Amino acid sequence: MVNNRLAIGGLSNKKREAIKQYRAFVSEGRNQPKPYVNLRNQIYLGDDAFVDEMQCKISPDTNLSEVPSSQKRQVAKSLAYYEKNIAIELRLYQKRTKVEGTA
């Protein structure tokens, strides 16, 4: 059971005002994206740059044998990332083959 004093105590010294503020707080959270949508590698809550920064802080000598492989692997790139990069690679390839074909 939730201790009401702990849940609303930091909002106001007056119980009625604290309840009103708590209800507003909860209401503002409705229809918001779930925080775990941005969860990476099952442990990081942040963007790719944050994940990279945190993974760089792990010493290469650290024993990770008990860490599940899903938490150790790099974050998968989005489909948009691959679409963008394949388009760039394709243009470079076409330029190379066009130049090689005329030589």
Q: How do residues 29-64 score in pLDDT, each as one tens digit?
A: 888 888 777 787 778 888 888 888 888 888 888 887
**Structural domain tally of the chain?**
3
Query: Is 84 found in the same domain as 60?
Result: no
Query: Is 98 found in the same domain as 81?
Result: yes
Query: Is 1 found in the same domain as 28?
Result: yes
* Band of residue 103 on the pLDDT scale cut at 50, 70, 90: low
Query: Is 68 found in the same domain as 81?
Result: no
Query: Is 28 found in the same domain as 1?
Result: yes
How many Å apart are CA 18 and CA 14, to the nearest integer? 6
Query: Is 68 found in the same domain as 80?
Result: no
3-state secondary structure 18-74: HHHHHHHHHHHHCCCCCHHHHEECCCEECCHHHHHHHHHCCCCCCCCCCCCHHHHCC
Domain limits at 66? 36-72
How many Å apart are CA 60 and CA 31, to the nearest integer? 42
